Amino acid sequence: MPSIDGYPRPDWTAIGDVISKSPESEARDLWCAAARTWLELTAKHLGSPYRVLETPSFLFLMPLNERDAGLISTFAEKALRQILVKLEGLAEIDVYGKRVIMVFATQDAYYAYSAYFYPEGEHPLSAGVFLNAEYGHIAIPFADIAEIEATVAHELTHDCLRLLPIPLWLNEGLAVTIENEICGNHPLRMEADRLREHAEFWNEDTIQEFWSGESFGRVDQGIGLSYELARYCIRALAHDLPSFITFAQRASAADGGEAAAMEVYEGSLGGLIEQFFGPGNWSPRFGD
């Protein structure tokens, strides 16, 4: 298996070509075997105490003691079941192999591993990431168990939505909403001071960053405000769940979800933002 900077980097395209020539009934087991070998080689590269743990739905790479590894793996199985129910009609149920979660002992190890996936820029600071490339998988730096569980719930939501070409605001809004519903860690309350921050930050230019997803990469207060606004948008849109599912199935990052909103809700997404901040030029503008 080829390696870069010591880390095994499988040629998943070549592996997929080989598996595609096997009977369909054997494909999942073959994908799992390839992923298991990948993680075992990664554990060997990282050294003790890293080890591979397997559950019905997951393959884990973790440097944790048996108790903590058991807590995280049990939580991940439970969280996945909840996500598949909460996102019925949107979530990807059948994946080619078991889902993969890597937990790294330090921030440095986490960034050293994941930098490979950001060849043209700096890796943004994060508590974890779903790497939607090749064999999609989750990478997390070590933290306390509650924080790891919250990150698992968040990134697993991204994992389950990986095949939908939805706008980033919708993807992140769903991830933080599901994370809170599972973990109860960040209740959504808009206090007067926070509402003023939103009103002062969002204007006809910054709202375009929200629709395009650029504001989720900001390094100022805009990133936190973006996640909160996304959650408010999800709450407002999902009051009619069947319509929301249809909207999310049709929403495209190419226009921020505007065409799907016009089709399903018979109105612009700008009207959604107007509910929060009053009249303004809030609609997505793509290709102007």
pLDDT digits (tens, 9 = 90+) for 218-259: 989 999 999 999 999 999 999 999 999 999 999 999 999 999
Q: What is the mean pLDDT of residues 254-281?
A: 95
pLDDT score for 165: 96
d(CA 269, CA 173): 15
Question: Are 195 and 258 found together in one domain?
Answer: yes
Question: Are 85 and 228 found together in one domain?
Answer: no
Question: Are 141 and 79 found together in one domain?
Answer: yes
pLDDT score for 96: 85
pLDDT score for 37: 97
Q: What is the mean pLDDT of residues 167-192?
A: 91
Among the three residues 117, 146, 163, which one is the final residue of a domain in this structure? 163
Q: To the nearest 10°, the Cα dihedral for 176, 178, 184, 189?
A: 50
Between residues 125 and 133, the one the model is more confident about: 133
Among the three residues 148, 163, 178, which one is the final residue of a domain in this structure? 163
Kindly indicate the confidence band of residue 126, based on its pLDDT and cuts at 50, 70 and 90: confident
H-helix or E-strand spanning residue 103: strand 99-104
Question: Are 44 and 108 found together in one domain?
Answer: yes
Is residue 121 over pLDDT 70? no
Question: Are 286 and 169 found together in one domain?
Answer: yes
Question: Are 12 and 135 found together in one domain?
Answer: yes
Structural domain including 62 reads 3-163
> In percent, how much of the chain has pLDDT > 90?
81
Taking alpha carbons only, the member of 43, 36, 41 closest to residue 62 is 43
Measure Cα distances from 274 to 6, 127, 226 in Å: 52, 32, 16
pLDDT score for 92: 84
Q: What is the mean pLDDT of residues 198-216?
A: 96
Number of domains in the chain: 2
Taking alpha carbons only, the member of 225, 265, 228, 231 closest to residue 245 is 265
Taking alpha carbons only, the member of 147, 137, 160 closest to residue 107 is 147
* Least confident span in 68-82, 119-133, 213-227, 238-252: 119-133
pLDDT score for 124: 63
Question: Are 60 and 178 found together in one domain?
Answer: no
Question: Are 25 and 157 found together in one domain?
Answer: yes
Question: Are 36 and 78 found together in one domain?
Answer: yes
In angstroms, how far is CA 161 from the centroid of its own chain? 8
pLDDT score for 14: 96
> For position 29, which CATH number holds?
3.40.30.160
Kindly indicate the confidence band of residue 134, based on its pLDDT and cuts at 50, 70 and 90: confident
Question: Are 127 and 235 found together in one domain?
Answer: no
Kindly indicate the confidence band of residue 192, based on its pLDDT and cuts at 50, 70 and 90: confident
Question: Are 170 and 115 found together in one domain?
Answer: no
Among the three residues 96, 130, 163, which one is the final residue of a domain in this structure? 163
In angstroms, how far is CA 267 from the centroid of its own chain? 28
Question: Are 69 and 33 found together in one domain?
Answer: yes
